[in-house]
Chains A and B, each alone.
Chain A
Amino acid sequence: MSAHEIAVHVLVWTAVAAELVCCIGIVAARDVFARLHYSAAASTLGPTLVAVAIAVEEGVRSIAAAAALVVAVLLLLGGPAVTIATARAARARLER
């Protein structure tokens, strides 16, 4: 196995491990605000690592790497916005 393949495997399985932790954590968390932490982490860490893995596999200038990078950036920018909006909604419902 070459260094290139090892790098891809490490990146992909780290991303999968991060998503698995988020999937288990969201069920184990006690309330909605604790659950939001796992939801936010799932939309930032995993997609970024997979986009880097695809860039390593296909080359930085490939179409697949560009598309994966756009997906990762969309999730990176959108994830916190959705998390904040959901936290505001949860607080408003709590105060009602």
Chain B
Amino acid sequence: MNVWLVAATVLLFALVLPFSLLARAPRIDALVALELVSAVVTLVLLLLSEGFNRSIYTTVPLVLAGISLVSGLVFARFMERRV
């Protein structure tokens, strides 16, 4: 295992903490935790693509970064108005 894969594994284990918040916190706090999780998962995918030495895999974090931006804005707008 190289440094990229070890770092990705450490970050995956660290995700347990925001996931615990996602499960038990109020909705708006869970949204903040979801934003943190999406940023960390994007980083993990970036580290994995470098760790496996496949530059084509960087498409996945690229798409996730765009989707998490849009989903964060949509969720925030939805929570501001309705839920």
Which A residues fall within an 8 A CB radius of B? 8-9, 12-13, 15-16, 19-20, 22-24, 26-27, 32, 35-36, 38-39, 42-43, 46-47, 50-51, 54, 57-58, 62-64, 67-68, 70-71, 74-75, 78-79, 81-83, 85-86, 88-90, 92-93
Contact = CB atoms under 8 A, between A and B. Distances in A.
A23 B17 CA distance: 6
B40 A19 contact: yes
21 contacts: A20-B11, A39-B36, A42-B39, A46-B39, A46-B40, A47-B39, A63-B55, A64-B49, A64-B55, A67-B58, A70-B62, A71-B62, A74-B66, A75-B65, A78-B69, A81-B73, A86-B32, A88-B76, A90-B28, A93-B28, A93-B80
Nearest to A38: B36
Given A12-B4, A16-B7, A39-B36, 15 more contacts: A20-B11, A23-B18, A35-B21, A39-B35, A42-B36, A47-B42, A67-B58, A70-B62, A75-B65, A78-B69, A81-B69, A85-B76, A85-B77, A86-B32, A88-B76
Contact of A35 (B10, B15, B29): B29
B1 interface: no
> Does more than half of chain B's interface fall in helix, strand or loop, or is it mixed?
helix
B21 A19 contact: no
